[in-house]
């Protein structure tokens, strides 16, 4: 049984067809790439699968269970983690607080514990702090734990976001342009982070990416999207050779 | 102006500042999460005061009739705690009925919802209890202490200490607990936080509950200090606390508390120098001038757009 399966998904935004007849199969542990020019509908596909939008047509199965129409948090709690193009970090909260907050659903103490500080609360918080620090350590940002995310370099912020997404122990991780705006050095560091995550936790990864280096080196399967439709699908080598992909990115030769 | 006269006014300013701060916290907390001001909040303060009246009357009846022998201080503590608890449910109901159905409505609709709920609470109170004013039962014997020529009543000390204690507790709650962390995170976005298993349908009522509880504490303390209750008592003090919340910086919780105290000081010291009929005129002109130079308030952030998809 595939981990994630999308069948014939189509979505309209009030008459505008944003995604057409989209299909996807991701097996456990697989790294899958989604590329395409700006406005092709990549983030829309993410939003449709993660429950931000409900597709006009089509079926989505996570571990065989249909998740169409579920709320984003219900889908997330079934093991789908996500990072965002613009990160959406919580300004003025510390790095450690970000990762601890991601453990929210594991904290079971109630309001009584919150107001009166029961032993259970302190025990749970200590456990989660420990786990959060381990995660930050793994991504190499533990030394920033007590710092406000606002003050940190961009590459570090990206890793904090990654740690936050990993804290919910996802079976599949959706990464929306995780290397956008990075310097070449940061890019290499980030790819190392992807490999570490994949080695340590083994989630499947579904990646939107513009940097071909990242896609070609990491992904086993790649889909190319243009105007909401998959125009090419295959291994990195197949995609690189596909004339439709080159056309979608660079335009036809006559036009140039 | 003598030294003792000055400190006499500091004491008064601290007391009024406590009322403003306790109410302003509720405005700021709700704003930080829902990006709207709950204009019914001043009336929730009023409801809290009336609930305090009921609780205090009931407890005193139980004590005087000999059912439950409680010491006086315990009656006081119980009145504050039970009133906070009960009024927090009023806040939850206001959120559930008034705001949740309008969560995706235009902001203006949600804003006037607050005004309407306020009017409903005021007139509902009138319908229920009639137009007469009520006397808040006296829970503590008034005592006046003289410290270096400054006269301080035990009621003023009580008001200031309870308020500051509640604010420190709130600060701990917001900074340390999972609920507080969720509130802070939710004040930045509605997109990622739910993915962590945090529901806005839990955090929003909780925020209303805590804000209303604090307003109730303010209401009971107000009743102790100024024991005349009427259904419209929440309006002016509510507006002033709202001004304090803006002055502190929209959505900044501790900023609202500090600005509440600042407003208390401005008012009292204006009244110290000018005739008291000019108090609000001059005090709020000063506030206006402050906002001209600091349009985001003291602790506000110069951006307000919340991350949504």
Burial of B164 (0-12, 13-18, 19+ CB in 10 A): middle
Alpha-carbon gap: A14 to the closest alpha carbon of chain B (Å): 17
φ/ψ (deg, to 5) at B140: -130, 145
Which residues have a Cβ under 8 Å from the Cβ of B168 and sit 6 or more positions away?
none
Q: What per-residue confidence (pLDDT) applies to B66?
A: 83
A252 by DSSP, 3-state: which? Answer: coil
Residue B217 domain boundaries: 30-233
- For residue A5, the tally of other CB atoms under 10 A from its CB is 18
Residue of chain A with shortest Cα separation from B172: A115
φ/ψ (deg, to 5) at B251: 85, -10
For residue B170, being part of any structural domain is answered with: yes
For residue B153, being part of any structural domain is answered with: yes
Most B CBs within 10 A among A44, A90, A168, hence the mutation to make, goes to: A90
| Inter-chain touch B173–A114, beta carbons under 8 Å | yes
A116 CB within 8 Å of a chain B CB? no
C-alpha dist (Å) from residue A83 to A100, A103, B62, B80, B305: 16, 16, 58, 45, 20
Domain residue extents for chain A: 4-250
φ/ψ (deg, to 5) at A247: -65, -45
Residue of chain B with shortest Cα separation from A113: B177
| Inter-chain touch A111–B198, beta carbons under 8 Å | no
Q: Which of B211, B205, B228, B249 is nearest to B43 (CA)?
A: B211
The answer on pLDDT for A217 being more than 80 is yes
Q: What per-residue confidence (pLDDT) applies to B303?
A: 52
| Inter-chain touch A111–B179, beta carbons under 8 Å | yes
CB B301 within 8 A of CB B288: no
For residue B306, being part of any structural domain is answered with: no
- For residue A108, the tally of other CB atoms under 10 A from its CB is 10
Mean per-residue pLDDT for A21-31? 94
DSSP string, A177-245: STTTT--HHHHHHHHHHHHHHHHHH--EEEEE-S-HHHHHHH-SEEEEEETTEEEEEE-HHHHHH-HHH
CATH of A4-250, one of 3.90.180.10, 3.40.50.300, 1.10.490.10, 3.90.1150.10: 3.40.50.300
Mind listing the pLDDT tens digit of every residue in chain B (309 residues)?
A: 578 888 889 999 999 999 999 999 999 999 888 888 899 999 999 999 999 999 999 999 999 888 888 888 899 999 999 999 999 999 999 999 999 998 888 888 888 899 999 999 999 999 999 888 899 998 888 889 988 888 899 999 999 999 999 999 999 999 889 999 999 998 888 888 888 888 889 999 999 999 999 999 999 999 999 999 999 999 999 999 999 999 998 778 889 999 999 999 999 999 988 888 898 999 889 889 988 988 888 887 655 455 444
For residue B140, being part of any structural domain is answered with: yes
Alpha-carbon gap: A90 to the closest alpha carbon of chain B (Å): 6
What span, in angstroms and rounded, lies between the C-alpha atoms of B226 and B223?
5
Is ipTM beyond 0.90?
A: no
When pLDDT is cut at 50, 70 and 90, the band that residue A203 belongs to is very high
CB B139 within 8 A of CB B224: yes
Residues in chain B within 8 Å Cβ distance of A86: 307
Residue of chain A with shortest Cα separation from B170: A115
Size of interface A-B (CB pairs under 8 A): 79
When pLDDT is cut at 50, 70 and 90, the band that residue A254 belongs to is low
For residue B227, being part of any structural domain is answered with: yes
The answer on pLDDT for A255 being more than 60 is no
Residue of chain A with shortest Cα separation from B200: A73
Q: pTM here?
A: 0.87
φ/ψ (deg, to 5) at A214: -65, -50
What span, in angstroms and rounded, lies between the C-alpha atoms of A248 and A106?
45
Which residues have a Cβ under 8 Å from the Cβ of B172 and sit 6 or more positions away?
none
Most A CBs within 10 A among B194, B197, B305, hence the mutation to make, goes to: B197
The domain tally of chain B equals 1
Query: Which residue in the block uniquely carries the two structure tokens 């001209």?
Result: B292
Find the length of chain A. Answer: 256
């Amino acid at each position: 049984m595939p981990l994630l399966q999308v069948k014939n998904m189509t979505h309209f935004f009030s008459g505008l067809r944003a995604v057409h007849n989209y299909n996807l199969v991701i097996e456990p542990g697989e790294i899958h790439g989604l590329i395409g020019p700006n406005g092709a509908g990549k983030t829309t596909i993410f939003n449709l699968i993660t429950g931000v939008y409900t597709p006009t047509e089509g079926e989505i199965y996570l571990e065989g269970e249909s998740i169409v129409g579920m709320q984003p948090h219900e889908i997330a709690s079934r093991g789908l983690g996500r990072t965002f193009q613009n990160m959406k970090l919580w300004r003025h909260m510390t790095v450690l607080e970000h990762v601890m907050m991601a453990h929210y659903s594991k904290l079971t103490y109630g309001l009584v514990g919150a107001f009166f500080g029961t032993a259970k609360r302190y025990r749970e918080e200590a456990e989660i702090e420990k786990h959060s620090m381990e995660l930050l350590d793994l991504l190499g940002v533990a030394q920033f734990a007590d710092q406000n995310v606002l003050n940190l370099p961009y590459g570090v912020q990206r890793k904090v976001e990654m740690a936050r997404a990993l804290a919910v122990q996802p079976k599949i991780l959706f990464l929306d342009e995780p290397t956008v705006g990075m310097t070449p050095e940061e890019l290499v560091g980030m790819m190392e982070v992807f490999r570490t995550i994949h080695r340590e936790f083994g989630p499947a990864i579904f990646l939107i990416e513009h940097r071909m280096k990242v896609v070609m080196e990491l992904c086993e399967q790649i889909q190319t999207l243009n105007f909401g439709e998959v125009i090419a699908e295959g291994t990195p080598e197949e995609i690189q050779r596909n004339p439709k992909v080159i056309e979608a990115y660079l335009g036809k030769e006559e036009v140039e | 102006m003598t030294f003792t006269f000055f400190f006499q006014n500091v004491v008064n300013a601290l007391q009024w500042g406590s009322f403003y701060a306790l109410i302003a916290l509720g405005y700021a907390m709700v704003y930080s999460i829902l990006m709207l001001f709950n204009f019914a909040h001043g009336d929730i303060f009023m409801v809290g005061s009336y609930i305090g009246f009921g609780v205090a009357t009931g407890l005193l009846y139980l004590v005087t009739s000999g059912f439950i022998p409680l010491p006086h201080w315990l009656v006081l503590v119980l009145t504050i705690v039970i009133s906070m608890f009960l009024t927090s449910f009023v806040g939850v109901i206001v959120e559930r009925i008034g705001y949740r159905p309008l969560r995706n409505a235009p902001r203006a609709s949600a804003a006037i919802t607050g005004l309407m709920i306020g009017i409903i609470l005021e007139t509902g109170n009138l319908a229920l209890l009639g137009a007469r004013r009520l006397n808040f039962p006296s829970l503590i014997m008034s005592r006046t202490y003289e410290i270096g020529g400054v006269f301080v009543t035990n009621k003023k000390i009580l008001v200031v200490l309870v308020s500051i204690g509640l604010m420190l507790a709130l600060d701990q709650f917001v900074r340390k607990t999972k609920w507080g962390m969720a509130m802070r995170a939710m004040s930045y976005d509605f997109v990622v936080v739910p993915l962590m298993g945090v529901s806005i349908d839990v955090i929003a009522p909780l925020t209303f509950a805590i804000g209303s509880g604090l307003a109730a504490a303010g209401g009971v303390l107000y009743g102790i200090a100024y024991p005349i209750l009427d259904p419209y008592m929440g309006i002016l003090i509510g507006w002033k606390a709202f001004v304090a919340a803006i002055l502190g910086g929209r959505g900044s919780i501790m900023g609202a508390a500090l600005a509440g105290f600042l407003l208390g000081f401005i008012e009292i010291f204006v009244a110290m120098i000018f005739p008291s009929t000019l108090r609000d005129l001059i005090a709020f002109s000063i506030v206006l001038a402050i906002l001209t130079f600091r349009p985001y308030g003291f602790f506000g952030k110069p951006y307000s757009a919340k991350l949504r998809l």
